[in-house]
Structure 1
C-alpha cells in the first residue's frame, strides 16, 4: 500500500476520533483522488449528531469507536471495555483499512454515523421527492412557528374530506436526512388522513440546528418541557389545536428513528397535549444524555431510562410501536424498552400475542396490552426481517419498506380507536 495513502488514512481516523468529520472526509477524498494533502482544518464543536437511518438492506452498524489497523496486522476480536465520559462502558472494535476505506468512500461514516452540526456528508445522497398528488380541495400548506425556544417551519395537510371540521391531528416527526415533503411521501400519511378526515402537521428540523436534519433527542435541553425542541413542537401543536378546536383526545404524535425518539419525548413531556404516540424504530425517553450514551443506546446497550410518567390529568398516554427485527441502526431491544415504559401495571391488565403476514408476504408479531375494560393501551409490531425503514411505506420517499404491514394505517387505526 502506498505510504502516503496509509498516512492519509491514519489522519482521517484521528480526525474522526476528534469528531471532526468534515476534515476526515476531505482527507479521504483527497487520498482517493490522488491529490496531495493540504493543511488540516480543525473543529471544536462538541455537539455531534448520532447516525441518521441508513436506507440499505445491511446498514453500517453504529460503531463510534472503530479503529483502523493495517491490513497486514492481525485483527483483534475485541479490546477490553473502557470507561468513558459518564462511566458508561464502551467497547472498541477494529476494522481493516480496506473495510474502513470502503465505508468512507460510500459516505456511510461521514454522513451516516458522525454527521456533525457543522460538517457535511458526501454528495449525492439526497433524494428528489416529487410533489404529492392531492385530491381536489385538499391543502398542503407551508407555515412557520416561533417561540422563545426557537423557530421551525412545518407543512400542514388539511384533508378535502373534512376541511372545516377535521376529526383530529397527527404530528409527524421525520427522521434524519429527511424533510416534511419526503416523510409525507414515504409514509403515505396524507392519504390515510384523507380517508379518516385528519389534519397532519410535519415540523421541519432546521439544518442550522442539526446538519443531518435529526431531531436532537439525545441532548438534555431537548428532553425537557418548555425547553428546546419539545417546546417548539408543542407550540406548533397548540397553534393547530386552537385553530381547529381540537382537545387532547384528538391529538396524536408519531415519528421515525430520531423522530420516533422525539415522539417519545413529546409524549413524556407533554402528556396533557397528546392522547397517543406512535414510535417507529425509535428510542425510549431518557435513553441518552450525550453523544456517547446515544451510540450506546442505539446499539441496544441500555441507557439512562427515566421513570415513565404515563398519566396526565387522569388520562393515559397510549402507545403503538413499530420495529424491524433486522434493524442495525437502532437495535430492536429499544422497542422492548419503549413498550415496558408504556405498559401500565396493576390488576386487570391483559396481554395478547398474535402473528400475521402482510399482503407482500412479510411476517410480523403483534403484542397488545389492554386495560381491564379490554381497550388497547399498548401495541407492539415486530416486523420480521425489516430494517431501519417505515413499514409499509412508499418508494417515493426515503427509508421505507413497502413489504411490511402498513404502519401509517395501523397507527391511525390505533389512535382513533382510543378516542375518549
Structure 2
C-alpha cells in the first residue's frame, strides 16, 4: 500500500469513527522510516493535523448523552470541520446488532456530512434495552409520543438543536431495518420535528404491537397499521428495499408508501422510472403534488437483500452494489423543510 493510499484509508476510517484503526495505519506506514517523526495518536473526537494527512480537515465524532424525563440514552454526534450554526441535522437509527460507529461506516454519512455540510446524530441502542440492540419498534410503549424510545430520540434531537444551533426546519431521520421502523415511528409521533424521513428495509409505524406480530410482519408484511392521529402533519418519505430481502419482506415498503399516500391529503401524480446503478437494476416510483414536488419516493432494488444499498462493506448490512441510498436520501431531504 502506497503512502498516499494509506493516508486516504486513514482519512476514511477517521471519518467513520474508527480512530484506533486510522492511528494504527499511520503508525505502520510511518514507523518504517526512523527519521520521520511519528504522528501523535488521535483521541476520540480529535482532528488529525493537516501535516499528517494532506486533505481538508475532518470533523469530530464524539460520544454524548441525553438525559430526559423518561430516561437517558447515549449517542454519537458527527460535526464536520466546517460546522456552523444553521446546519441541517440528520438522525441515523442503526439496525439490530449494529452500533453508531458500524452504521456510520456502512452508510458513509460522516463522509457525506464533510462534503455537503450537515450534522449527523446516531442514537445508540443498548443491549439492556434489547438483547440484539434492536430498537423496540413493535412494543406499544415505544411507539408513542412522549414515551419510551421515541421520547429519548426526540430528546437527542432537541439537545443537538440547542447545543449546535442546527436548523430546526431541516431535521431529518433515517434508519435501517429495526432502525427504519423506528424512523417511521418518529415521523408519526413527532411530525413537527422532522422535515422528511428515510426508511431502508424497514416497516411502517404500527406494523406490529407484539413480538409474534413483528415476526409475521417481517416475513409477510403488516396485517394492520395504527390509526392516523387527528390533524397529524404529513412527513415526506423516501424508502429503499431490496426485492430479495429475506429478513424484512418488500411488502413492508409498499405498506409504508400506501400509508404515506393516504396521509398526504392532496392529489398526487405517480411517475415510474427504471434504471441501473452500481450494477443493479432498480425501479423508482415518485409521487408528486400539483406543484411537482416529490412527496414520496420509493426505490425497489432488483436482486438486493437486507443491506444498505450502495454502502461500504466495511460496515455490517451494507451492500456496495446498487444505487447510493445515502446520497439519494440526502437529495430528497434537502428538497423539504418543516413548515413554520
TM-score class normalised by the smaller sequence: 0.7 to 0.9
Q: Quick one: structure 1 residues 308 and 384, their matched pair in 2 at CA, closer, same or farther if it must change by over 3 Å?
A: farther
Q: Which runs of 5+ in 2 are unaligned?
A: 1-16, 23-46, 48-55
SS of the residue 2:334 aligns to: helix
Cα distance, 1:419 vs structure 2: 3.0
Match of 1:64 in 2: none
Are 1:153 and 2:74 an aligned pair? yes
Match of 1:383 in 2: 301
Cα distance, 1:269 vs structure 2: 0.2
Cα distance, 1:167 vs structure 2: 2.5
Return the alpha-carbon distance in structure 1 between the equivalents of residues 272 and 194 of structure 2. 26
Return the alpha-carbon distance in structure 1 between the equivalents of residues 231 and 321 of structure 2. 35
Cα deviations across residues 93-133 of structure 1 (Å, max 9, x unaligned)?
Answer: xxxxxxxxxxxxxxxxxxxxxxxxxxxxxxxxxxxx94486
Are 1:142 and 2:60 an aligned pair? no
**What TM-score do the two structures reach when normalised by structure 1?**
0.66
Cα deviations across residues 279-330 of structure 1 (Å, max 9, x unaligned)?
Answer: 0000000010011100111112433312335965xx5311000000000100
Q: Quick one: structure 1 residues 362 and 310, their matched pair in 2 at CA, closer, same or farther if it must change by over 3 Å?
A: farther
Cα deviations across residues 190-247 of structure 1 (Å, max 9, x unaligned)?
Answer: 1112221100000000111111110000110000100000000000001111223334
How many aligned residue pairs are there? 288
Task: State whether residues 157 and 201 of structure 1, in contact with CA within 8 Å, keep that contact through their aligned partners in structure 2.
Answer: yes
Match of 1:240 in 2: 160
Q: How does 1:89-168 map to 2 (within 5 A)?
A: 130-131=18-19, 136-161=57-82, 163-168=83-88
Task: State whether residues 159 and 166 of structure 1, in contact with CA within 8 Å, keep that contact through their aligned partners in structure 2.
Answer: no
**What TM-score do the two structures reach when normalised by structure 2?**
0.81
Are 1:349 and 2:268 an aligned pair? yes
Task: State whether residues 78 and 120 of structure 2, in contact with CA within 8 Å, keep that contact through their aligned partners in structure 1.
Answer: yes
Q: Quick one: structure 1 residues 377 and 301, their matched pair in 2 at CA, closer, same or farther if it must change by over 3 Å?
A: closer
Task: State whether residues 180 and 199 of structure 2, in contact with CA within 8 Å, keep that contact through their aligned partners in structure 1.
Answer: yes
Task: State whether residues 92 and 120 of structure 2, in contact with CA within 8 Å, keep that contact through their aligned partners in structure 1.
Answer: yes
Counterpart of 1:411 (choices 315, 329, 332) is: 329
Cα deviations across residues 232-274 of structure 1 (Å, max 9, x unaligned)?
Answer: 0000001111223334421000000000000000000000111
Deviates more, 1:401-410 or 1:296-305: 296-305
Return the alpha-carbon distance in structure 2 between the equivalents of residues 196 and 377 of structure 1. 22
